A and B are shown apart, each in its own frame.
Chain A
Amino acid sequence: PWPQPQAIHTTPQQYGVHPAAFHFLVNQTSQTCDLLTSALDRYYKLIFYPYSYLNYILDPESVIDEIKDKPKKTLFDL
């Protein structure tokens, strides 16, 4: 990551990350608000649709079809 975190430890153990199998969960006991839900929505798009993300946040109408219409697996292949 950039900037370098204060403390980070990783191992070679990998996990696959698949747009159809992954989701964000807000813990029941967690505080929540509009900022969190919009951040989760944003980062889901940033992680799985990086190529159209910027257009989406700057002009959602122009991209929403692309994201909506694209079957997840195609994007995954990408």
Chain B
Amino acid sequence: RDTPLLKRLNVYIQEPCEQYPTLESDESYTIVVTSDSAVLEAVSIWGAIRGLETFSHLIYPDDNLGLAINQTTIIDFPRFQHRGLLLDTSRHFISIKTLKINLEAMSNSKMNVFHFHIVDDQSFPYESRSFPDLSGAGAYNQDHVYSQEDIASLIEFARQRGIRVVVEFDSPGHTQSWGRVIDILTHCYSGGKPNNEFGPMDPSRNSTFNFLKKMFSEVATVFPDHYVHLGGDEVDFDCWRSNPDVQAFMKQMGFGNDYSLLEQYYMQKVVDIVGSTGKGYAVWQEIIDNNVTVKADTVVEVWKDPYPDELARVTKLGYRTLLSTCWYLNYISYGKDWVNYYKCDPHNFAGTDAQKKLVVGGEACMWGEFIDATNVITTTWPRAATVAERLWSAANVTDPNAATPRLEEHRCRYLRRGIPAAPVNGPSYCDFEFNR
């Protein structure tokens, strides 16, 4: 009876609301709970949304009071601007409903970029307006597709939570599912004859780039974020070498036998096509490794080891950089594997302050070879939350022992909220177990 009730949270946002979050959005906020009236102040709507999430963490079940909150003062802002999670929906299809549960889980850990790795060799589930046959022939079947309405509702669901949707259309490699009806892939040859196999996109034909021009102008209108991820990783040159037209093109271009020059030529054309739509682009680090000239605002994603050397090299070239090397969460192992994720740090490399500033954050990656809607949430959460803390919290928040009880509490919070976050710290329990 004698404990005061908290009666209100006064919310104050300084700047007019932006419509979509960006890489430059201000997510800072303060919370003061010192009387029956608490205050949440933020510069932008995105900071207010982050502050509301924190406020919801401050309220806890209490035997006497039902729900309680302690007198608290918080001043908060993210250490890194780009705190992403990649999901791969090509190797296994993942329903829109499950993708939204994942977005909800991301917002509970203040992650703010959904890297939508939507297509790849195995399947093409994106229903294109310009080229409906791409999913017609490229999807696993007509149910395993994302319609334009699905995409729009996912983008809106993410926007409500201050999450950017950065879509990846990877090329020239990883495009087998693209070529089932549109002749854009390189025909491979054996013994001087086509062998009915296909390789990367065929850079020797203008028709390839005419297709890409149309495709990426559609993508630019469907996905509002300034950035599109162009992939560019793991290009196998064997098929290009076997094709006589590509060989002739190499001669014509004076590339000799250096097929990385052909890859550079292809990526240069693609980044110019996407650049002409006004979009920025993110690419895997191979593009830079192969000396493609890209726009200054390009974001380069490092996925190779040893990551300190890779980060030093890419930032030395002056590009904004993301780290994902140590956060491939699809590699699972028995026990507390999250401690290694927690120890990985995007500033752990030899470089100048200017180079460190170029690191804009990182991404946890969940590749889909053995992941679909049955296990994507339980495998990703709360393990990805440890990456989220690495990317949001101060650089000196590094002690996994201090983090363990807090991570347990965060996992129980996920269960209370209906999100099946798996146990990651050995035997334990939550007051409210998952029982859907």
Contact = CB atoms under 8 A, between A and B. Distances in A.
Interface of A: 1-18, 21-27, 29-33, 35-36, 38-40, 42-43, 46-48, 50-55, 57-58, 76-77
Given A5-B54, A7-B75, A54-B104, A15 B13 contact: no
B52 A8 contact: no
A16 B64 CA distance: 9
A54 B73 CA distance: 29
Nearest to A52: B418
Nearest to B103: A57
13 contacts: A2-B413, A5-B393, A8-B74, A10-B70, A15-B6, A16-B65, A17-B68, A24-B9, A32-B13, A35-B17, A36-B17, A39-B45, A50-B418
Given A4-B389, A35-B49, A39-B48, 17 more contacts: A1-B58, A2-B388, A2-B389, A2-B407, A4-B406, A5-B54, A7-B76, A14-B71, A15-B5, A22-B9, A24-B11, A25-B11, A27-B10, A27-B11, A39-B52, A54-B104, A55-B418
A58 B101 contact: yes
A15 B49 contact: no
A16 B417 CA distance: 21
Contacts of A15: 3-6, 33, 36, 68-71
A16 B69 CA distance: 7
Contacts of A31: 13-17, 45
A29 to B, nearest CB: 7
A32 B208 CA distance: 47
A24 B31 CA distance: 13
Contacts of B68: 14-17
Interface of B: 3-17, 33, 36, 45, 48-49, 52-59, 62, 65-77, 79, 97, 100-101, 104, 109-110, 159-160, 385, 388-389, 391-394, 397, 403, 406-407, 409-410, 413, 416-419, 432
Name B's interface SS: mixed
Contacts of A2: 57, 109, 385, 388-389, 406-407, 409-410, 413
B11 A30 contact: yes
B109 A10 contact: no
B393 A21 contact: no
A12 B45 CA distance: 30
Given A2-B389, A7-B75, A46-B56, A26 B66 contact: no
A4 B72 contact: no
A9 B71 CA distance: 8
Contacts of B36: 15
A43 B101 contact: no
A42 B160 contact: yes
Nearest to A53: B417
A30 B13 contact: yes
Contact of B66 (A16, A29, A50): A16
A50 B62 CA distance: 15
A16 B66 CA distance: 7
Name A's interface SS: mixed
A5 to B, nearest CB: 4
A58 B48 contact: no
A55 to B, nearest CB: 7
A11 to B, nearest CB: 4
B67 A18 contact: yes
Contact of B109 (A3, A18, A23, A24): A3
A51 B414 CA distance: 10
A47 B388 CA distance: 22
Contact of B67 (A26, A47, A57): A47
A25 B9 contact: yes
B11 A26 contact: yes
Nearest to B1: A16
B418 A53 contact: yes
Question: Which of A17, A51, A57 has most chain B Cβ within 10 Å?
Answer: A17
A27 B71 contact: no
Nearest to A30: B12
Question: Which of B49, B100, B109 has most chain A Cβ within 10 Å?
Answer: B49
Question: Which of A3, A8, A13, A38 has most chain B Cβ within 10 Å?
Answer: A3
Contacts of B388: 2-3
Nearest to B38: A15
B338 to A, nearest CB: 12
The 6 closest A-B pairs by CB, nearest first: A54-B418, A33-B17, A3-B392, A1-B57, A13-B71, A5-B76
